[in-house]
Amino acid sequence: AQSVTQLDSQVPVFEEAPVELRCNYSSSVSVYLFWYVQYPNQGLQLLLKYLSGSTLVKGINGFEAEFNKSQTSFHLRKPSVHISDTAEYFCAVSERGGSEKLVFGKGTKLTVNP
């Protein structure tokens, strides 16, 4: 069965600084990978996804992530964060051709300070 580890539960950064949120996954088969964002008191919203092709994936709000198969990682990056990026970020994995479960990591709380 697949699993996801988000290495940092909280990441505080200053506005306009770069940020990287780390995600590692485990699966015995090929996977689809996702990053979702949850703003306070809201549901989850898709930031970006990797299905196949280029390992560098660009998403909404200036975020991007790179799929690294050898490292089984899918880290999320943004070169310059804004106060409005303060939210919880979830990495998720689904096995290709397998069960339909989308398994989420425990989340990383990103706090952007002025």
Partner 1 sequence: DSGVTQTPKHLITATGQRVTLRCSPRSGDLSVYWYQQSLDQGLQFLIQYYNGEERAKGNILERFSAQQFPDLHSELNLSSLELGDSALYFCASSPGARVAGELFFGEGSRLTVL
Which residues of the shown chain bind partner 1 in the complex (CB under 8 A)? 32, 36, 41-46, 49, 51, 90, 94, 96, 99-107
What angle is formed at CA 27 by the lines to CA 63 and CA 106, rounded to 5 degrees?
50
**Least separation in angstroms between CB 96 and partner 1:** 8
Closest CA to 90 of 1, 8, 2, 14: 8
By beta-carbon proximity to partner 1, the closer residue of 4 and 112 is: 4
- Looking from the CA of 81 toward its CB, the CA atoms found within 13 Å total 23
Q: What separation in angstroms does the CA of 110 have from each of 21, 29, 98?
A: 8, 30, 32
**Least separation in angstroms between CB 79 and partner 1:** 24
By beta-carbon proximity to partner 1, the closer residue of 5 and 15 is: 5
**Least separation in angstroms between CB 6 and partner 1:** 9
**Least separation in angstroms between CB 54 and partner 1:** 16
